[in-house]
Amino acid sequence: MKEIVLDTETTGISVKEGHRIVEIGCIELDNLVPTKNKFHFYLNPERKVSEKAFEIHGYTDEFLSKQKKFNEIVDEFLEFINGKKLIIHNADFDIGHLNNELSLSGKNKISNKIIDTLVLAREKFPGSSISLDALCKRFRIDNSKRNKHTALIDCDLLAKVYINLIDQKEPSFNLVDRNDPVDMEDALINKKTISYSKKVIKPTVEELKKHKEYISKNLKKNYY
């Protein structure tokens, strides 16, 4: 089953105040394993970034003015997410902004099934902090690269958080003896089964006799 982990960055919080998307990032999961398929664009919002938003992601008006506009990448975006479940942290925010951009581009609203990890976290850890950083800390996920909010880094972290939230372990692989001549990569990727056997060596009657004599001779009785 393929899913899309999605995140956006914007010029500000409210769509009603005319704020727009400045970055969109998506990572595809196939049975909870990230694939090589990613979707990522910085976008020209055609307006200034608010001071608060700039503090969060650090994208300047000058940098964004040189990027593509949403209506230039909208078809590629819709094709990428088509028919796939969307995994989003605080989905109301991202979907609200995406639907606004789609409306401005003359497209229909998003109809994909959506899983909001914020809701999952709130149900699982009531009363606890459920920000992405807090969940990374709870699940011991390294978020040291997250100096600023960026869509792809946040998607990567959210994918790991999502797997933990739904109590799924990471994919298991058959372990291979590194001294075995079988190719490691081939065994892991193709999941070949490597059989093992243990050789049990039983002592002879003579060895048992000598062992008993040694114990009697060298160990004191109070050891028994």
Question: Catalytic residue positions?
Answer: 149
| Cβ(57)–Cβ(146) below 8 Å | no
Give the DSSP H or E segment for 57. Answer: helix 51-57
Residue in this structure with the two tokens 């490597």, named with its chain if needed: 194
State the chain's maximal CA–CA distance in angstroms.
95
Beta bridge partners of 39: 26
Taking the CA atoms of 131, 92, 60 and 55 in sequence, report the sign of the dihedral they define: negative
Instruction: Supply 90's token pair.
Output: 């605080």
Side chain identity at residue 147, one-letter code: N
Q: In what order do the strands lie in the sheet with 2-10?
A: 33-42, 21-30, 2-10, 85-88, 114-116
For 159, other C-beta atoms within 10 Å of its C-beta total: 20
Q: Please identify which residue in the block is written with the tokens 């996920």.
A: 141
